[in-house]
Amino acid sequence: MAKTRDIQDVGILLAARWKLVPVDDRNWELCELRAVDDNARSRAAGTAGAVRWQRCGRFYQYGTVEQAMLYVLDQLAKDKAWAQQMELQSALVMWRGICEDMREYAKAAKGAMS
């Protein structure tokens, strides 16, 4: 049932390209905004290369939603760490910056909904 639900316009935005989508009354799935892989199925659907919300296969429950946010923070940090080597102090500053970006994104999303 949950896999047939259109995830494009539902969920909780965690960061610019990450969101949690309700699967049922107890579970959430993490989704990422990225280009659809080019394969026979996506070509037939006309979605190959389109940037859309896609399921990540990472599931969370009411008591573990914080873990989803930490996972997103970790992924954003890894994106930056792959680009360069940094000292611990620089990494901590980077993490603070990512947290602030997530806070600002949440504020902007809240303002857009008002």
> According to the model, what pLDDT value does residue 2 have?
45
Please give the pLDDT value at position 59.
Answer: 95
Q: CA–CA separation, 100 vs 105, rounded Å?
A: 8
pLDDT value of position 61:
92
Which residue from 74, 89, 72 is spatially nearest to 17, judged by alpha carbons? 72
pLDDT in tens, 10-65: 998 888 899 999 999 899 999 999 999 999 988 998 889 999 999 999 999 988 88
Going by pLDDT thresholds of 50, 70 and 90, the confidence category of residue 4 is: low
pTM, rounded to two decimals: 0.73
Mean pLDDT of the chain: 87
Tokens 């316009």 — which residue? 9
